[in-house]
Amino acid sequence: MASFRTIDDLGDLTGKKVLLRSDLNVPVQDGRVSDKTRLTATAPTIKDLLAKGATVLVLSHFDRPKGKRVPEMSLKPIAPALGEVLGMDVAFVDDCVGAEAEAAVAALPAGSVAVLENTRFHAGEEKNDAELAQGMARLGDIFVNDAFSAAHRAHASTEALARVLPAYAGRSMEKELTALENGLGNPERPVAAVVGGAKVSSKLDVLTNLVGKVDHLIIGGGMANTFLAARGVSVGKSLCEHDLAETALSILAKADEAGCTVHLPYDVVVAKEFKANAENRVVNVHEVGEDEMILDVGPAAVEALGDVLKVCKTVVWNGPLGAFEIAPFDRATVALAKTAAALTQGGSLTSVAGGGDTVAALNHAGVSQDFTFISTAGGAFLEWMEGKALPGVEALKN
């Protein structure tokens, strides 16, 4: 953590302009922001910078305009929404680079906040163009990056800019990096990873990275079927990547070598139809009918998985254990999530989770507040679980 600077390393900022890279890519419905989570997430950073006397210029991408001005993808409507969250007026500047933007920024009252127009209106953004970054740098004195969710991409406003101006991590970035460091960087052992979801193929790099790092690997969801099938279990009509049998076996062998215990379900919930309240039964994995699908981990296995978490100090979770969107196949995910939440609240477990469907599943289980940390950064979180260096984070290290 000491490897990069934070807002605490900044002194008085009176008369200074801070270029703050946030993620303002919020969902908008009928011209209104329908989920303010990302605005709320970056608000503490803005408030801390204002408290130090700075003028704050917020940079962000929005949607995918692919290097052109697309009026429907303007950040203009986001400025008042951010203003509501902050409880103050937020100005809007029609560009994030160039003479007009420079003039507009120069005219801002000291101590104000402005949202600058979509960085992706410039083709150089996604090319990590140094010249574009130089142009942005002319608007401010200091760079603060608060957008972990954009850190897996080397773009001008996330990477190149951090190399032009003195660069610092914002509060949200700091919180995310601390949580991730506690999750896999330098975790308290034993560590368990829960990996679920639909397919092995989408999480091969995650699985391969984790077997070398964790003490227990809990595999659930559709991907467990691929592992079970590779071991000779008949999985009937289950979602299963039979062509990945070799890969699955090599992951199991690698885990064995590394001293990582792999937990696959030994009882499962099966149904003949993929729909809510489909007729279902709990069976041993060796009793799945040819016309049946495995849609969830069984109750006996879930209880055993709970016991694994009880002896662990850390859990990192990505992917639901079953088809949690349709009842009653949400049971295993909900039960294990509740166990992890209770252990976290009891003080024996550090719990870190992330992933689009995972966040939805944990919300559904009603435990989001009880985990140590839940990352809302889908792509960046997965790349972190794959053990990849994130360019936006690397550029912050000095």
Query: Is 319 an active-site residue?
Result: no
Nearer to ligand ADP, 139 or 297 (CB): 297
CB of 68 to ligand ADP, least distance (A): 30
**15 part of the active site:** no
The reply on whether position 222 binds ligand ADP by CB under 6 A is yes
Q: Which is nearer to Mg ion, 236 or 356 (CB)?
A: 356
Our finding on whether 270 is near ligand ADP (CB under 6 A) is no
Rounded to whole angstroms, what are the CA distances from 359 to 36, 152, 366, 374, 377?
Answer: 16, 19, 11, 7, 10
Q: Least Å distance between CB 368 and ligand ADP?
A: 13
CB of 353 to ligand ADP, least distance (A): 9
Please list the residues that pair with 204 across neighbouring strands.
none
Work out how close the CB of 96 gets to ligand ADP at its nearest, in angstroms, rounded to a whole number. Answer: 31
Q: Which does 318 bind (CB under 5 to 8 A by kind): ligand ADP, Mg ion, none?
A: ligand ADP
Nearest position to ligand ADP, beta carbon:
197
Q: Which does 325 bind (CB under 5 to 8 A by kind): ligand ADP, Mg ion, none?
A: ligand ADP
Binder of ligand ADP out of 135, 140, 187, 355 (CB under 6 A): 355
Annotate each residue in 162-201 with x if it binds ligand ADP (CB under 6 A) or - if it does not, as one string.
----------------------------------xxx---
Q: Which entry of 83, 306, 356, 387 is annotated as an active-site residue?
A: 356
Q: Rule CB under 6 A: say whether 265 interacts with ligand ADP.
A: no
- Reading the block at residue 12, the tokens are 């008085």
Closer CB to Mg ion, residue 318 or residue 339?
318
Piece in contact with ligand ADP (CB under 6 A), picked from 113-121, 149-157, 207-215, 350-358: 350-358
**Applying CB under 6 A, does 357 fall inside the site for ligand ADP?**
yes
Question: Which residue among the candidates 38, 120, 153, 171 is catalytic per the annotation?
Answer: 38
Residue 212 annotated in active site:
no
Active site residue 69: no
Stretch that binds ligand ADP, among 6-14, 34-42, 133-141, 312-320 (CB under 6 A): 312-320
Q: Is 119 near ligand ADP (CB under 6 A)? A: no
**Choosing from 5, 52, 175, 199, which is the catalytic residue?**
199
Separation of alpha carbons 316 and 214, rounded Å = 9
Q: Which residues bind Mg ion (CB under 5 A)?
A: 356-357
Number of residues counted as binding ligand ADP (CB under 6 A): 19
Binding status of residue 319 toward ligand ADP by CB under 6 A: yes
CA torsion 212-344-171-176 (nearest 10°) is 20
Active site residues: 38, 199, 356, 379
Instruction: List residues binding ligand ADP (CB under 6 A).
Output: 196-198, 202, 221-222, 239, 294-295, 318-320, 322-323, 325, 355-358
